[in-house]
Amino acid sequence: MRLYDETSYQNLDPLEERLLRSIFWQIHTADRSAAILNGRPISLHRACLGAKVTTMYWRGSLPDVPLLDYSSTPSALDIESVVRQGYDLCQDLWTKASSIIIKFDSLEIWNEGVEDRSALVGPSHEVVITDYLDFIAMIDHCRFDIKVPETVDPDSPTSTRIQRAFDIQRTNLCVTYYCLKMVLLQRFYETGISEHLGVSGTSYSLALRRLDIASDMVRVLSEVSIESLQVNGEPCVCYDMRLEVYLLTALEVEKIRRIGVTLLELIQQSHNLALTERAKSLFFTLLDVLSRLDSRVSEELDFNRGF
């Protein structure tokens, strides 16, 4: 279908065009997630496609084609707008993270065999740092206390369904953000430029920062509803086309597993008793969440914990 080519969308029905664009960017993000979390090569890339990705990303510049029935759903415009903002943020997080990792890979290619990390050449460190600051700022202005508009009857099935969609999306965004933040921190350390993030080259300094991110992730997992985690559960892609929730839930448990593996590494490698005990506490909380989800990952982590 050549959905990566902007000309493929010419002369389409407006609704079909919007859906196909969203489907393409969903696939684009899934491709990035598989590359980042599973170490697979990026497929939707100019080098693989043999052509540049020219598909426009819809942010209101294209004709506004509603996906909700505005005649029967009160405040449908506000609801769809909020859900769309969350969808955009999910795409942005994966795109920015993959862009940073591609620049890290370029650094490694340019500096293969260079032992003096202060003499690195290739993409400017300032550019990579700026991209990282943009990444961590993405979630700053995202509201996670979104409620169903007052114009919707709070006791109606519509209100319940909409609030459920908001909660599921919030869970997905938070889990994605902290997982990617952990991955990027590790890449900064491995590339030898973690000091630009205020993390010295020592393993202890890195361990403290990793513990902070893991703590944020576990806090989120403990606060959200089990239902939100279940919908974002084992590898699958789930989206409500009517609301255009398009939640990227592929590899969701893999994101949580990565945090669990990080905590296990801290427990087994750290020589600081206080840090080890804190990591153990977070690990058991994480294990409890996964066991309530009846996830096979909980059995894997429990088997490999070694304590």
pLDDT, average across residues 111-117: 56
Residue 283 has what pLDDT? 93
pLDDT band at 278 (very low <50, low <70, confident <90, very high): very high
pLDDT band at 201 (very low <50, low <70, confident <90, very high): low
> Burial code of 179-195, b = ≥16 C-beta within 10 A, e = fewer?
bbbbbbbbbbbebbbbe
Q: Which two tokens stand for residue 104?
A: 């890290």
Indicate whether 235 pLDDT > 70: no
Cβ-based neighbours of 159, under 8 Å, separated by 6 or more: 148, 152, 153
Residue 264 has what pLDDT? 92
Residue 233 has what pLDDT? 56
pLDDT, average across residues 268-288: 91
Closest CA to 267 of 207, 209, 219: 207
Indicate whether 277 pLDDT > 90: yes
Structural contact between residues 97 and 104, judged by C-beta atoms closer than 8 angstroms: no
Residue 149 has what pLDDT? 64
- Tell me the C-alpha distance between 164 and 240, whole Å: 11
Structural contact between residues 30 and 250, judged by C-beta atoms closer than 8 angstroms: yes
- Tell me the C-alpha distance between 93 and 142, whole Å: 12
Residue 113 has what pLDDT? 58
Indicate whether 287 pLDDT > 60: yes
DSSP string, 208-263: HHHHHHHHHHHHHHHHS-HHHHHHT-SS--B--TTTT--B--TTHHHHHHHHHHHH
Structural contact between residues 88 and 169, judged by C-beta atoms closer than 8 angstroms: no
Q: Which residues pair with 135 in a beta bridge?
A: none
- Tell me the C-alpha distance between 167 and 113, whole Å: 48
Residue 271 has what pLDDT? 87
Burial of 219 (0-12, 13-18, 19+ CB in 10 A): middle
Indicate whether 223 pLDDT > 80: yes
Cβ-based neighbours of 247, under 8 Å, separated by 6 or more: 87, 90, 168, 169, 172, 231, 232, 238, 239
192 secondary structure, DSSP code? T
Chain segment 21-48, per-residue pLDDT in tens: 888 888 888 888 888 887 777 888 777 7
Show me where the domains of the chain are located.
1-65, 66-303
Q: Which two tokens stand for residue 210?
A: 């990793």
Q: Identify the residue with better confidence: 42 or 10.
A: 10
Sign of the dihedral defined by the CA atoms of residues 168, 173, 178, 182, in that order = positive
